[in-house]
């Protein structure tokens, strides 16, 4: 049985999800939520996303999608295809997909849920964009937790989206 594919992503209101190989904001609450929600789960990511982490995150498997058959890194399990990644994940309930944009695009039609941090700022500059998750695609919001701007950080919301059956 294939695991549920769940996206974990922070996205600015203008679609930006990254800049120069990293996040263009610092939201400690988002990082805490990410850790809590992904702990113990296999995570699928592209090679650049893995390298942006600065090393493997404790308590999670790191399946790294890469076309470079010779690529290796401590704590990473390289996989050449999405099918290989799903097979490598094994019999788990959920595969946490954490980026980047190409991996999100390749699995978007198969994703069952999105754990989204909406960063409420239209002026955030970045070089990596992710389209919004629209109702026309079958997404519906099932949870929202809003947080005001504070300490120089933008307002943000934790949102759970599920795909309508």
How large is the average pLDDT for residues 145-160?
A: 96
pLDDT at 109: 95
pLDDT at 164: 86
How large is the average pLDDT for residues 1-22?
A: 94
Give percent above pLDDT 90 in the chain. Answer: 97
pLDDT at 156: 98
pLDDT surpasses 80 at 135: yes
pLDDT surpasses 90 at 1: no
Bridge partners (DSSP) listed for residue 10: 117
- Cβ(112)–Cβ(118) under 8 Å? no
ω into 100 cis (within 30 of 0): yes
**Residue 151: which residues within 8 A CB-CB, separation 6 or more?**
none
- State the Cα–Cα distance between residues 46 and 62, nearest whole angstrom: 10
- State the Cα–Cα distance between residues 21 and 18, nearest whole angstrom: 6
pLDDT at 165: 73
pLDDT at 80: 97
Average pLDDT of the chain?
96
Residue range 74-131, pLDDT digits in tens: 999 999 999 999 999 999 999 999 999 999 999 999 999 999 999 999 999 999 999 9
pLDDT at 20: 93
Structure tokens at 30: 């988002």
């Amino acid at each position: 049985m294939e695991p549920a594919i769940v996206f974990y992503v922070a996205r600015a209101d203008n679609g930006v999800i990254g800049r120069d190989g990293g996040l263009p904001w610092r939201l400690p609450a988002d990082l805490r939520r990410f850790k809590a929600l992904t702990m113990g789960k296999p995570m699928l990511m592209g090679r650049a996303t893995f390298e942006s982490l600065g090393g493997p995150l404790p308590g999670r498997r790191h399946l790294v999608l890469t076309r470079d058959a010779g690529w290796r890194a401590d704590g990473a399990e390289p996989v050449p295809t999405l099918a290989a990644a799903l097979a490598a994940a094994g019999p788990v309930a959920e595969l946490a997909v954490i980026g980047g944009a190409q991996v999100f695009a390749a699995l978007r039609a198969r994703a069952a849920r999105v754990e989204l941090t909406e960063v409420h700022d239209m002026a955030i500059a970045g070089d990596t964009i992710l389209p919004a998750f629209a109702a026309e695609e079958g997404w519906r919001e099932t949870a929202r937790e809003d947080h005001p701007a504070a300490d120089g950080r933008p307002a943000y919301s934790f949102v759970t989206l599920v795909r309508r059956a």
